[in-house]
Structures are given as structure tokens and as C-alpha cells.
Amino acid sequence: MPLAAQELYPTSFTVASHAVLDSVRRLGIDVVEYAPAETGGGLRVVAVLGADEERALAARGVTTQRVVLSAAARLLESRRIALGARAFTVFRDYDDSTRGINAWLRAFAAARPGVTLDSIGATVEGRPLLVAKIGAADDTPARPNVFFVATYHAREWASTEMALRLLAWLADSLAATPAGAALLAARDVWVMPVANPDGYQYTFSTTRLWRKNRRPNGNGSYGVDLNRNHAGFFGRDDAGSSPMPGSGTYRGTAPESEPETQAIAAFHRAHRPDAAVSYHTYAGAILYPWGHENGALAPDQPLFRALAGTALAPAIPDRLPGSTRARYSAAPGWQLYPTNGDYNDWAYAEFRTAAFTVELTAGCCDGGAWYGFEFPDEEAMLAQLFRDNLAFALGVLEGAGSLEAATGPGGPALPQFEALWPAVRVLVPNAEVSATVQLALDTGVLRTVAVTSDWEGRGRVFTRLVGAASGSSGARAARAGSDAGSPDLVREALARAGAESESMAWSGFTRAPGGAEGSWHWWTDGACAGTPCAAPVLASPRIGVAGRSGLMLHFWTQHSGSLFASAKRGVVELRADRGAWVPVAEVTGSAPAWYPLVVPLEGAAGADSIELRWVADGMGWKIDAITLTAPGGGLFTAGRSATEPAIEVSQNPVRSGSVTLRWAPAGSGPAQVFIYSLFGTPVAGATLLPDPGRWMWDVRTRGLPVANGAYIVVVTRGDGRRIRRRLIVAH
């Protein structure tokens, strides 16, 4: 039976790992959801399959089971089969001469002088591709363009309704207020409710879960996935899109092979968007570039986080009745799953558009039953979905006027050091691309680091500069600056921790080989233990921060969660001065590659000491290269005083198997002792709580005797003051 005539079903099955899931995608399977299985380990996967694909999986030993929809969804589907578009109260098809999208848009624009309707092209089957413009009909470069688009995927009706409601609100409600009218007068705002009219109409007339357009592929199959057909990273691999015409994620024969993507590309060249939102269903997430490669971070991370928020505090709440979550997740697109040829990465790569994909929540809420793409045809629920998403859409509209100064739930978009080690990574404004980076090592040496822009080049606002992946682990501070006029960006490391030394006063997760830096990292599978069941925790010692403000936490991470299972997550918590633990960051989604995370610690303001912990709530989690930093430029000031308390040693040169270090303890925090080579490479270390004023070093590193030569001893006392001296080893 040709795929074009097959019915498609939401179907579940279990795979052993993310690697197996990747293999399933490479078969062209239309995977739409995955999450850790409740029992037996592995991942529970939901895919939209035809009978042929069910048989293909069965031949590979995969047992599938069709998902049982809610009673309301089953009733609505039976009505659709019998009545077509006439079965629905709120949803509307494309072609109906009275209620259809085409007719509705034309009538809506005709009744409003502030709305202009344009056809930017035609589909495979000849339907018009309609875009509505709110505001002045002319197009001037002085006004930033903002583009809202929906229904790349035909079955995602809730996204269509979101775009229609947004258009109506912009034209009728926002425009009716003086401030709103002024905002619209300063923007060119475009709304494209249906990017895939042919496929959308087909979901009403024939196959409800159809995804692609209706291109005849010549082998009995139909359709190209328009959100895999854009020129950005087209066909990068066969997991992010499929080369097989029968697949739901078929990318087409070439970039922009389809009239729909050709029209959208031509529109973008004529009206280059400063910001854009593409609406989909149903993950409950705000996604931003990059999406094509695990671990890849676009240089405009501060901009994206400012507008979208973070996983802990995203821009969009989820207030649907009965929803299993309270908020959407905000993350790079690959944390849902890697894609290529999609709108987000293409618009950002080619036009440096601040592009977001909003995956509307629609996976649960009908009495707790799953309905996935088949969102209820209920005005109250669709109205709530729109209200939840409105503030983010308005934030993007406002932010487009000055993306350099954008601010939102994630705070202002500011330059920042992403990491001080194992490689220094700094995000600087594009005007500062010639910035130099200097490190102050624990040895007292100031070193200028050769940095280059990473392979993605400049973003819309920021450029990422990356130094060599060696020599920065001994960095006590880092400074980035240029002659472009902006103040230097300076961060001082108050504490550093990896999993290299078992003597360090960190507890909880297991030390495991490999990592972002060195030979070890911290790891947990996320399984709780004990009675009552307690989540695994990686806990820091107490760290003295008296007199310091503007604290930030930097660390590298991998995790094996899912954006579809927000209850399975990792949470970073802060405790100031032995008070209550408060969450400061959250990670969800799948991250099989190491990437750096930066967390502001506003809750540490005014504290004398802090503690940090990483709580793995049902999710596998890896942590490495932790750094706590604060602003500070004194280490780079010429002529600073070299007077500091002494470190006494039991022998120097060291000729026996151990040496005892002594200093005057001070303060209530822990002491940290590190031994470095003259090149700044960590050799040994310990965290001591409370500060005992002494430590014995066995003159070994990773279990082996150190080589003869000069070393630097650095002690951070309990009051946060650092002292150092040189030590000679001569066995």
C-alpha cells in the first residue's frame, strides 16, 4: 500500500539508549517524543508510524504498541472522518469558502485598514502562501522586521490557532492602545499562520497525523518535511533529517527544493527578519539555535537566554488545566533532538535572525490522557494556550528594536566568560571581536592567550572567542578587552573543582573516567536510593565569599533527560550562610556532548560563605570543571603589593617523600591548597574544612611521584585571601 494512502498512528516502543534512538531516527522513523522509561530502564519512545514502518521495526526486534488516545480525541477523530472540517467548532481547514484559513484571512484583512495580506508564492498543489502584515503597508529599512510563522508540519493545528489569535490580538487589541500603536508603528510585523497549506488541508480530508507537504516523490510516496528542507545545514546527517522519501522527516532532493521553502526564503531576503518565532507542537519548549549538533552553542546565547529565559525561569508558563508541568523549558534546539534544514538554524545562520521555535504544550491534559498533536477542539483550552504564550511573543516584538539591549525573563544580554577552563571561552560584543584575553595564573604569571572566533563566526550581537584547550586550568582570573571603548570584562576565580583528586572535599556523585577536563568527572545515573528515596547529590564544601558580589557559577555538563519529561531533571541549588537551599539553575533535555553552563548567583549577595549542590532528580548527569567567579581586576593592576602572609614548609628543596605546609588560618570558610607546575598545570590539591592552617603533600600526582623541578604552592585561606610560594622538588 503506498504511504500516501496509509493511515498514521501514534505508536510507542522502548529502546535501550539514546544511541539506539539515534539509530531509529536514521531509519527515517518519525520520532515525536521520548523520555526515560518508568520501569526497566531505557527510553520510552512515541513515533507516528504507518503499518509498513511498524512491520519494519518488528523485523528489527522492536515491539510497538499503538498509543490509546483519550475518549474525547477518539470521538473527535471519528467525527473528522465522517464530516471533515465540519466536525470542528474552533479548528478550521484551509479551503472552506466560509470558515477556511484562506477565506478567514482575506475577510480579516479586508475589514482592517491596518492589516495587509500578501501571497508570497504558491504550494505544490497551487494554494496561496499567505502572510499578513500589521501596521503600515510600506516596508522601510528603518523598521525592524519581526516574523511569526506556524504550521510547517501539517498536523500541528494548535500552532495554526496560536498564529491566528496572535494576528487578531496584534491588529485589534495591541493596536488599540497608544503604546501598542507606537510599537507597531516602529516595527514591520508579519504573521504566516500556515506554511504548509497542502499538508494542512490533507489532515482534514484524509490523514489526521500527516506531517509533510504533498509533493509526489515518484516512488508512490508523497511529501517533503518543509522544516528539514531549508538551506541551513541541509542534510548534515541522517538522524536530523531523512534521505528516504517515505519518511516523515524526508528532507527532499535538495535545499529549498519545495515551492513553500523557496517562497519563505525569498520573503526573508526581501524582508530580513530581526527576530522570528516558529510555532510547533507539542514538547512545551522554547528552542533556539543551534539545533543541528549536540553540544553546539550559538554565540548569541546571552541574547537567546535573555528573551526565552532559562529552564528554571522560562518566558512561557503552562497553565492548561491538568497539565503535568508548570512551565515550558528553554534550551538550544538539539536538547529536544538534533535537526538539520530547519527554520531556526537556517534563519539564524543566513540572516542572523534571533529565531525561536516554540513547541506549544499539547501532550497531556485531557483528564490526564495523552492526545499529542490532537489538541482538543475547545475554545477555553486554546484561549489559555494563547494567553500563556502571548507575553513571550510580545517580548520578542519589543526586543527586536534593539537586540543589543534586549532583556527579559533571563535578564539583560551581557558579555560573559562562558568558561575559564579547560579552555577559556568568552562572549564579547561584535565590536570587540579584536579583544585580547589575558590570564592571571596562580603562579603569579600574567599570560596573554591566543584566541580565535569559533567556527560559527559572529552572531547577531556577540562573537565567541576561544583559547587553547590547555594552560588555563591554573587561571586565577581572566580579562578580555579591546580598544573599542567598552570596559574590560574581568572575572576572578574564587574556587575551582574537578574530579581529579579524591582528597578534595566534594561528596556525592561517583568519580568516573573521562570528562571535559582531565581524566575524571563526576557522574550519577540519577537513580534514587534509601528510604525515603533520595536523589543523588554532588555537594561542595563551604566557600568563603565575604565582600564579593556579582558571583557566577560556571561548569561543564552532560545529561540524559528529555524535554518531554520535565520531572526528570537536574537542579543546581545554593545555600548562603548555612540558610535554606534555593534553586539557581535547572537542566532538562538530552545532552550527550559536553557543553558549558553559566549561572548567576544573585542569592549569594551579601553572604560570607556559600555552598552549592547538584541534585539529579531521576536523570543521568555528568559534571566537570566547576568554577566560581566574581568581578575583579586587581590581579591585572601593575604595581600591586606583593606582601602577603607566609607559607612555611618543612623542607625546601623537598628530598623526602612528603612535605608539610603551614600558614596562619583565618576566617570561617574552608581552605583550598593547590600545587601547580610553573606552566600553570594543576598537580595536586585539597579542600580543608575548617581551615586547619596545615596540609601534608605526599609529593605525588595521580598516584605517581612528581618530577624534580620548581612548583608553586597556592593556599586560599578561610577568609578568602590567597597566599603562595615556590617549592623545589629534588628527590
Name the percent of the chain lying above pLDDT 90: 59
Q: What are the structural domains, with CATH classification, of the chain?
A: 3-66 (3.30.70), 86-408 (3.40.630.10), 414-480 (no CATH), 496-635 (2.60.120.200), 644-729 (2.60.40.1930)
Q: What is the pLDDT of residue 679?
A: 56
Mean pLDDT of 443-471: 81
Q: What is the pLDDT of residue 3?
A: 38
**How far is Cα 353 from Cα 356, in angstroms, rounded to an integer?**
9
Least confident of 158-167, 477-486, 495-504: 495-504
**Residue 502: is its pLDDT beyond 60?**
no
617 and 588 Cβ atoms separated by less than 8 Å: no
Mean pLDDT of 667-671: 80
At position 424, the amino acid (one-letter code) is V
Determine the 3-state secondary structure of 438 from DSSP.
strand
Q: What is the pLDDT of residue 382?
A: 95
**How far is Cα 727 from Cα 731, in angstroms, rounded to an integer?**
13
Chain CA centroid to CA 81, Å? 39
Mean pLDDT of 384-389: 97
Cell triple for residue 225?
Answer: 518535511
From edge to edge, which strands make up the β-sheet containing 671-677? 682-688, 671-677, 709-716, 722-729
Q: What is the pLDDT of residue 712?
A: 84
**Residue 726: is its pLDDT beyond 90?**
no
Cα angle: 154, vertex 160, 162; to 5 degrees:
150
- Helix/strand/coil percentages in the chain, nearest 5: 20, 35, 45
Contacts of residue 177, defined as CB under 8 A and 6 or more positions apart, other chains included, come to none
Mean pLDDT of 386-400: 97
**How far is Cα 584 from Cα 554, in angstroms, rounded to an integer?**
12
Comparing 3 with 670, the larger pLDDT belongs to: 670
Q: What is the pLDDT of residue 643?
A: 47
Q: What is the pLDDT of residue 504?
A: 59
**How far is Cα 35 from Cα 45, in angstroms, rounded to an integer?**
7
Q: What is the pLDDT of residue 633?
A: 66
Comparing 710 with 320, the larger pLDDT belongs to: 320
**How far is Cα 665 from Cα 647, in angstroms, rounded to an integer?**
11
Q: What is the pLDDT of residue 469?
A: 61
Confidence of residue 527 (pLDDT cuts 50, 70, 90): confident
**Residue 678: is its pLDDT beyond 90?**
no
Q: What is the pLDDT of residue 710?
A: 78
Catalytic residues: 359
Highest mean pLDDT among 37-41, 263-267, 566-570: 263-267
In 178-270, which residue ranges form alpha helices assigned H by DSSP? 178-185, 197-205, 259-270
**Residue 377: is its pLDDT beyond 60?**
yes
> In sequence order, what DSSP letters do the residues of 526-586 get, joined into one string?
---BTTTTB--EEE---EE-TT--S-EEEEEEEEE--TT-TTSEEEEEEEETT---EEEEE
Mean pLDDT of 506-535: 86
**Residue 74: is its pLDDT beyond 50?**
yes
Q: What is the pLDDT of residue 111?
A: 98
Q: What is the pLDDT of residue 640?
A: 40
Chain CA centroid to CA 184, Å? 30
Q: Is 332 exposed, middle or buried (0-12, 13-18, 19+ CB in 10 A)?
A: buried
Mean pLDDT of 332-348: 97
406 and 459 Cβ atoms separated by less than 8 Å: no
Q: What is the pLDDT of residue 680?
A: 61
Cα angle: 28, vertex 34, 40; to 5 degrees:
115
**Residue 123: is its pLDDT beyond 50?**
yes
**How far is Cα 286 from Cα 395, in angstroms, rounded to an integer?**
13
Q: What is the pLDDT of residue 1?
A: 31
Q: What is the pLDDT of residue 626?
A: 93
Establish whether the linkage from the previous residue to 532 is cis, with ω within 30° of 0.
yes
| Short-list 568, 576, 555, 566, CA closest to 615 | 568
Mean pLDDT of 168-190: 97
Confidence of residue 189 (pLDDT cuts 50, 70, 90): very high
pLDDT in tens, 5-29: 468 999 999 999 888 998 999 999 9
pLDDT in tens, 415-451: 999 999 888 999 999 888 778 888 887 666 788 888 8
pLDDT in tens, 576-604: 999 999 999 999 999 999 999 999 999 99
Question: What is the pLDDT of the chain when averaged over all its residues?
Answer: 89
At position 371, the amino acid (one-letter code) is Y
**Residue 122: is its pLDDT beyond 70?**
yes
Confidence of residue 503 (pLDDT cuts 50, 70, 90): very low
Confidence of residue 39 (pLDDT cuts 50, 70, 90): confident
pTM: 0.87
